[in-house]
A and B are shown apart, each in its own frame.
Chain A
């Protein structure tokens, strides 16, 4: 069964600290993995997208890693800011060779940054 599991479910850190969010998936065949940031009551916004051949990608203070062999990804946030408080969603796309690969969504990690 194709699934995407994220951990932890929620996380509280102090402003300025670093943190790492985890994503494990069983989606096969694999096409790409995306991390989205979703502020409360808003639509998700893409942070990074990685294909099978990429093992790291950065977007400012956000760095995503991908280990396609172990089917694990992480999102590392450096020097956290209050505005980083949001839900971070891991999404994996399968590769069915069609114009519409299926997306599998994790439940998200709710990050809260305290001053």
Chain B
């Protein structure tokens, strides 16, 4: 899992509540990402940020929001507008290795909304 931490590992929420997932990295990487993983599907990009105070929507940004106030932190808020929030959420950061932009993933947070 490298130097990326996600907390908590498991999170339970009632439907209609917003919830924020934490992601911190001490790798000094500029770029950070949030992915969602559902059973039997590939990872899908929610949001990404290349530098502090800047972020871009990914493929499935609806119902999610992010902030990037510090280089080390990229929290994800799952809002009540997200229709199917129960999933495994992965945070990643990347560094340019000879143009390859190797991504390193955190351990993930499993969110269950009932």
A residues with a Cβ closer than 8 A to B are 4, 31-32, 34, 36, 41-46, 49, 51, 89, 93, 99-101, 103-108
**Option from A4, A42, A51, A103 in Cβ contact (under 8 Å) with B108:** A42
| Band of interface residues on B | 20 to 34
User: Which residues of B come within 8 Å of A, CB atoms?
Assistant: 1, 4, 6, 31, 40-45, 48, 50, 88, 90, 92, 96, 99-108, 110
Given contacts A51-B100, A107-B40, A107-B42, contact A43 B48 (CB under 8 A): no
Contacts of B6 in A (CB 8 A): 43
Check A43–B42 contact: CB distance below 8 A: no
State the total of A-B contacts with C-beta under 8 angstroms: 56
A43-B107, A44-B105, A106-B42 given; A32·B100 CB < 8 A: yes
Residue on B with the closest CB to A43?
A: B105
Chain A residues positioned under 8 Å from B102 (CB to CB): 34, 46, 49
Beyond A31-B100, A43-B6, A99-B101, 4 additional pairs, beta carbon < 8 A: A4-B42, A36-B105, A43-B107, A104-B42
Complexed CA–CA distance, A44 and B107 (Å): 8
